[in-house]
Amino acid sequence: MYLILIILFFPPCISLDTLTSDQSIKDGQSLISNKNNFILGFFSPGNSSYRYLGIWYAKVKKQTLVWVANRNDPISDSTGVLSNQSGNLVLHDSHNHLLWSTNVSVQGTTSSVAQLQDSGNLVLVQDNNKMLLWQSCDYPTDTLLPDMKIGLNRITGLNSFLTSWKSEDDPGTGDFSLKLNLTGFPQLLLYECSTPCYRASPWPWNGPAFIPSLGFNSNFVNNEDEISSFFSLNDPSIIIRFLVDSSGLYQQLTWNDGDRQWKQVWSTPRSCDNYGSCGAYGICIVDSTSRFMCTCLPGYEPKSLRDRSEGCVRKKLGLSMCGNGEGFVKVAHLKTPDTFDAAWMDMSMSSLECEQACLRNCSCTAFINYNTNGKGFGCLSFYGELIDILEFTDDEWDLNVRVDVTELAKYTRKSKGFLGKKRKLAITILSLAMPLFLVSLLAYIWLMKKRKSKVKRELHNQSLNFTGTKEYLEGNELEESSRHPDLSIFDLSCIVAATNNFCPTNKLGQGGFGSVFKGQLSNGQHIAVKRLSKSSGQGIEEFKNEVTLIAKLQHRNLVKIFGCCIQEEEKMLIYEYMPNKSLDSFIFDSRLRIIHRDLKTSNVLLDGEMNPKISDFGIARIIKGDQIQNKTTRVVGTYGYMSPEYVIFGKFSTKSDIFSFGVILLEIVSGKKNTDSYQNHPSLTLIGHVWELWREDRALDIVDSSINESFVSLEVLRCIQIGLLCVQEDAMDQPTMLAVLLMLSSEIALSSPKQHAFIFRSATNDFESIIGGKLYSINDVTITKFEAR
């Protein structure tokens, strides 16, 4: 039966998949590829009576066309004939009208062979040497098959692209086309006539990129012979095609043999996918309800408040964008903007090199640092309008937008990261610095008033009595005293129960004044209990003074004190529990164990939401009355964090805290402690090491290696310079905290730091120290060193 069908539909000289010279097939006859994948023959689309020559799937039950020869010249009846004549394929009707031809230029007498391949490609080759003369995949219609290329053949000049049908019943050239746009950096665009209506993200790599969720490899080729894109399959049994349909949808379709229908994997454009839906410098964002909205890139504002789709314009700040302190703001997870005015700079540029190259060119508006599919990094820079941008969480590209100095400062303050996690912590410390000094001032004024009023408090029955009566909490719960709203008195049994009898596993830290334990009250409240040791240098009066001060000066950036307990031989302070330890545990390998009078990272604790709070403020600042002076005979602090004038002469002021703040800033940038040693200069502290690098113009060498290239060099250099200004030897040269805040939050010019203070690394019996290259001997000042949590 099979042989009878072959004899009926094909002359004996015609094979199943080839058409040799001087052979032909008529309407009703067809060619079938070797593995029965595709059929070449005549068909009528939809409800049309016209006949066309085309190629369709053989194994797909529903006739699905992938290529049409005479799409704009239909045959009115069933008299069409495809012939192989003089080296060309030609299509005639019954009146011998030429409707279509391969139109290959041949010299002399040439015989050819046409073959329908299993890829769906119809090829025409010379009969003698099999040289390719023509192939249908160079002239696609509306369908892209595996390994079929869209793009430019640089040798022949042929540009291949898809074009939709006019309608389901008419395969004629429609209004929509998918082309590889070669202006700027190559990218696929879907056009309606000549107007872009959708743009695919450009390929920044060479070679395949497998997309598992979609089942194919995406390929891009750019060499001296061609520039093209195509897709390929790892599993040949899967039937996938890309289609530009007559309605303007570009879609991926996969054949489901079980359901005997095509499954649409995705289609575009939709809402934000529409080209330039939010105009120039606008970002299209799709919400959870699939509605889209438009916002602006950093440094830009809406052109029209009524219609955000009109795009955005640069904010009118009157500042130059060329060599005037400008920088870049990173916007994450975006579809790459239109690359019509972009340039590929280098395949080996780091993020920092890419940024510096763009910064040097005043026409550069943005850049992207691509990870080129594991082959290194490349830099794509933009020089014109930034358009067709949308938020795309599945996209890994980050757009770095050029902004002026004012806008850069604004986004620096808003940024959630400063040197990664450390950047956030540094900015947080800045926000804490001013309240700290205000609180210190209030503490000083309050203590002066307390001294003048000569209000005396007495200790009765080994318990505090701030109002003249003994107050205890009833029943193991935290509640406010009706007579003293700022403080609660805890019974010893309550604290013993909360800490499981001060179990070692609940111990949070050990300090010079005692130990700190985690506890939980019966009402579920977590607490931190500071249990002062019997040998603590803090007496009853200091203890009472500290508790009262902290209770009066509650602040959102100070660790909150719930109350205290003095019973039997115990003296304890009960604080709120801070689950994320202290700032130093995030920037050093190990935690410093100190109790201090100056600001430092170990006393910046972090709660469950990483909000910082300064701890031990009362202990650090509450000292004996005769020590609230410009000079003290009892220096309490930690070597490496105390200012020179405080260490040597016992003088302390707000400038002492400026020095400590400078040390913190350098520690955050470097990820090292000020007391670390350095191989080349073992006598130098961190400050000395940074100073040497600064003088050699190598300050960035100190940046924490764990940050890699995620930092902005200008910001880091500015932080280092401010840190060095804070640790200058002469306190008169050090800036005020207000000036420091202004320096960190704006782009004002900074002065050059002068000689810094070399703080001693270790002390001899007479506490010799080297400061500013001079040797001092401290014999008239007592220096007390504490180690605490």
- Indicate which CATH number applies to the domain containing 505: 3.30.200.20
Q: What is the mean pLDDT of residues 537-564?
A: 69
Structure tokens at 453: 């009023």
Q: What is the mean pLDDT of residues 377-403?
A: 84
Structure tokens at 529: 């209990």
Do 203 and 103 have their domain in common?
no
Predicted TM-score (pTM) above 0.85: no
Asked if residue 582 belongs to a domain, the reply is: no
User: Which of 64-78, 306-320, 608-622 is predicted with the least confidence, judged by mean pLDDT?
Assistant: 608-622
Query: Could you say which of 243, 269, 295 is where a domain stops?
Result: 269
Domain with 765 in it: 423-456+587-789
Asked if residue 277 belongs to a domain, the reply is: no
Cα separation of 254 and 57, whole Å?
Answer: 13
User: Which of 30-39, 436-445, 595-604, 660-669 is predicted with the least confidence, judged by mean pLDDT?
Assistant: 595-604
SS (H, E, C) 114-173: EEECCCCCEEEEECCCCCEEEEHHHCCCCEECCCCCEEEECCCCCEECEEEEEECCEEEE
509 close to 499: Cβ distance less than 8 angstroms: no
Asked if residue 213 belongs to a domain, the reply is: yes
Helix axes 686-695, 713-726, angle to 10 degrees: 120
pLDDT confidence of residue 413: 64
Do 604 and 741 have their domain in common?
yes
75 close to 51: Cβ distance less than 8 angstroms: yes
Asked if residue 274 belongs to a domain, the reply is: no
Do 705 and 591 have their domain in common?
yes
Asked if residue 275 belongs to a domain, the reply is: no
Annotation: binding site for ATP: 530
Helix axes 713-726, 351-360, angle to 10 degrees: 90
Tell how many helices (H) and how many strands (E) occur in the chain. 13, 49
Burial 124-152 (b: 16+ CB within 10 A, else e): bbbeeeeeebbbbbbebbbbbbbebbbbb
- Indicate which CATH number applies to the domain containing 83: 2.90.10.10
> Of residues 362 and 513, which shows the higher confidence score?
362
Cα separation of 241 and 402, whole Å?
Answer: 40
Asked if residue 276 belongs to a domain, the reply is: no
Express each pLDDT in 646-681 by its tens digit. Answer: 777 777 677 778 888 899 899 889 888 887 766 556
pLDDT confidence of residue 169: 94
Do 127 and 147 have their domain in common?
no
SS (H, E, C) 26-95: EECECEECCCCCEEEEEECCCCCCCEEEEEEECCCCCCCEEEECCCCCCECCCCCEEEEECCEEEEECCC
77 close to 83: Cβ distance less than 8 angstroms: no
DSSP assignment of 612-679 equals: EEE-SHHHHH---GGGSSSB-SEEEE-TTTS-HHHHHH-B-SHHHHHHHHHHHHHHHHHTS-TT---S
DSSP assignment of 438-464 equals: HHHHHHHHHHHHHHHHT----EETTEE
Does residue 391 surpass a pLDDT of 70?
Answer: yes
**Band of residue 510 on the pLDDT scale cut at 50, 70, 90:** confident
- Indicate which CATH number applies to the domain containing 221: 2.90.10
**Band of residue 195 on the pLDDT scale cut at 50, 70, 90:** very high
**Band of residue 572 on the pLDDT scale cut at 50, 70, 90:** confident
- Indicate which CATH number applies to the domain containing 746: 1.10.510.10
> Of residues 780 and 94, which shows the higher confidence score?
94
Express each pLDDT in 97-134 by its tens digit. Answer: 999 999 988 766 678 999 999 999 999 998 888 889 99
Structure tokens at 497: 């129960």
- Write the CB contacts of 395 (distance below 8 Å, at least 6 apart in sequence): 201, 333, 334, 335, 336
First to last CA, the chain: 94
Catalytic, out of 273, 341, 598, 704? 598
Question: Is the C-alpha dihedral spanning 781, 638, 626, 439 positive or negative?
Answer: positive
Do 340 and 470 have their domain in common?
no
> Of residues 564 and 454, which shows the higher confidence score?
564
- Please count the structural domains in the chain: 5
Q: What are all long-range contacts of 489-496, with beta carbons under 8 Å and residues at least 24 apart?
A: 489/463, 489/464, 489/563, 489/564, 489/565, 490/563, 490/564, 490/565, 490/572, 490/574, 491/565, 491/567, 492/565, 492/567, 492/568, 492/570, 494/521, 494/565, 495/519, 495/529, 495/565, 495/572, 495/574
Give the strand pairing for 282-286 and 389-390. Answer: parallel
Cα separation of 23 and 485, whole Å?
Answer: 106
pLDDT confidence of residue 745: 81
Express each pLDDT in 462-484 by its tens digit. Answer: 333 333 323 333 333 333 333 34
pLDDT confidence of residue 436: 66
User: Which of 127-131, 160-164, 409-413 is predicted with the least confidence, judged by mean pLDDT?
Assistant: 409-413
Summary mean pLDDT of the chain: 77
User: How far is CA 593 from each of CA 347, 584, 596, 665, 789, rounded to the nearest angstrom?
Assistant: 48, 10, 10, 19, 4
Q: What is the mean pLDDT of residues 693-714?
A: 83
Asked if residue 177 belongs to a domain, the reply is: yes
Cα separation of 653 and 657, whole Å?
Answer: 7
Does residue 569 surpass a pLDDT of 90?
Answer: no
Highest mean pLDDT among 218-222, 261-265, 410-414, 484-488: 261-265
Do 707 and 768 have their domain in common?
yes
Do 256 and 289 have their domain in common?
no
- Write the CB contacts of 568 (distance below 8 Å, at least 6 apart in sequence): 462, 492
Asked if residue 429 belongs to a domain, the reply is: yes
The H or E element that residue 771 is part of is strand 769-771
Phi, psi at 422, each rounded to 5°: -70, -30
> Of residues 531 and 654, which shows the higher confidence score?
531
Do 772 and 630 have their domain in common?
yes
Does residue 144 surpass a pLDDT of 80?
Answer: yes
Structure tokens at 216: 């194919």
Annotation: binding site: 530
**Band of residue 401 on the pLDDT scale cut at 50, 70, 90:** very high
Give the strand pairing for 261-268 and 292-296. Answer: unpaired
pLDDT confidence of residue 560: 80
Radius of gyration of the chain (CA): 39
User: Which of 348-362, 496-510, 557-571, 726-740 is predicted with the least confidence, judged by mean pLDDT?
Assistant: 557-571
User: Which of 27-41, 320-334, 460-474, 587-601 is predicted with the least confidence, judged by mean pLDDT?
Assistant: 460-474
**Band of residue 174 on the pLDDT scale cut at 50, 70, 90:** very high
**Band of residue 774 on the pLDDT scale cut at 50, 70, 90:** very low
**Band of residue 564 on the pLDDT scale cut at 50, 70, 90:** confident
Do 5 and 131 have their domain in common?
yes
SS3 178: strand
Do 384 and 451 have their domain in common?
no
Query: Could you say which of 577, 595, 610 is where a domain stops?
Result: 577
User: Which of 100-114, 326-340, 365-379, 394-408 is predicted with the least confidence, judged by mean pLDDT?
Assistant: 365-379
Share of the chain above pLDDT 70, in %: 70
Do 600 and 708 have their domain in common?
yes
Does residue 785 surpass a pLDDT of 50?
Answer: no
Cα separation of 670 and 693, whole Å?
Answer: 12
Q: What is the mean pLDDT of residues 204-227?
A: 72
Q: What is the mean pLDDT of residues 70-96?
A: 93
Cα separation of 165 and 245, whole Å?
Answer: 7
Q: What is the DSSP letter of 22?
A: T
162 close to 142: Cβ distance less than 8 angstroms: yes
Active site annotation includes 73:
no
Query: Could you say which of 541, 556, 577 is where a domain stops?
Result: 577
CA 11 to chain CA centroid, Å, is 66
Cα separation of 63 and 56, whole Å?
Answer: 7
Furthest C-alpha separation in the chain = 125
pLDDT confidence of residue 462: 36
Phi, psi at 666, each rounded to 5°: -70, -35
Residues facing residue 604 across a β-bridge: 614
Residues facing residue 227 across a β-bridge: 152, 222
> Of residues 74 and 645, which shows the higher confidence score?
74
Q: What is the mean pLDDT of residues 602-617?
A: 69
71 close to 173: Cβ distance less than 8 angstroms: yes
Do 160 and 222 have their domain in common?
yes
**Band of residue 296 on the pLDDT scale cut at 50, 70, 90:** very high
Percentage helix, strand, coil for the chain under 3-state DSSP, each rounded to 5 = 20, 30, 45
pLDDT confidence of residue 185: 83
Which is nearest to 633 in space by CA: 621, 624, 643, 642?
A: 624
